[in-house]
Amino acid sequence: MYAIITLAAGLLFGLGLAYSEMTNPAVVIGFLDIFGDWNPSLIIVMASAIAVGMIGYVIKGKRLTPLLASKWQVPTLRNIDAKLIIGSSLFGIGWGISGYCPGPGLTALVNNPSEGFYFVAALIAGSGLHYFQTRITQK
């Protein structure tokens, strides 16, 4: 059942990305270009995502355990440190320059393979660097 729900959630997420045009870098860059040719259409996408998240937290507040797991997996850290600021800044800069974040970037492997390949390669390299850096600093 867990695999079926996970697949359905992934398909729904992918369809939402495609329908909202979040897989189109020009639309994303147009949304982020608030001082230029701004395209505010993704505000509805952002508001919808926030609403779904809020519903999830309401459900979490009313249930002791989730339907398909033994416990809730909710972030517990509340501090804002240099790693968070640097990581989120790098994510935002990369998103603003390329118009891709990880979900839409993976769809680019099909929609726009030449750009998608470079994005996914950089995503894997960055993730690998983080993984090895974390392992080295923990020893």
Average pLDDT of every residue of the chain = 88
Helices and strands of the chain, counted as H and E runs: 6, 0
Helix, strand and coil content of the chain, in percent to the nearest 5, comes to 75, 0, 25
CA angle 133, 136, 139 (to 5 degrees): 150
pLDDT band at 104 (very low <50, low <70, confident <90, very high): confident
What is the pLDDT, as a whole number, of residue 14? 84
Closest to 57 in 3D by CA, of 43, 73, 69: 73
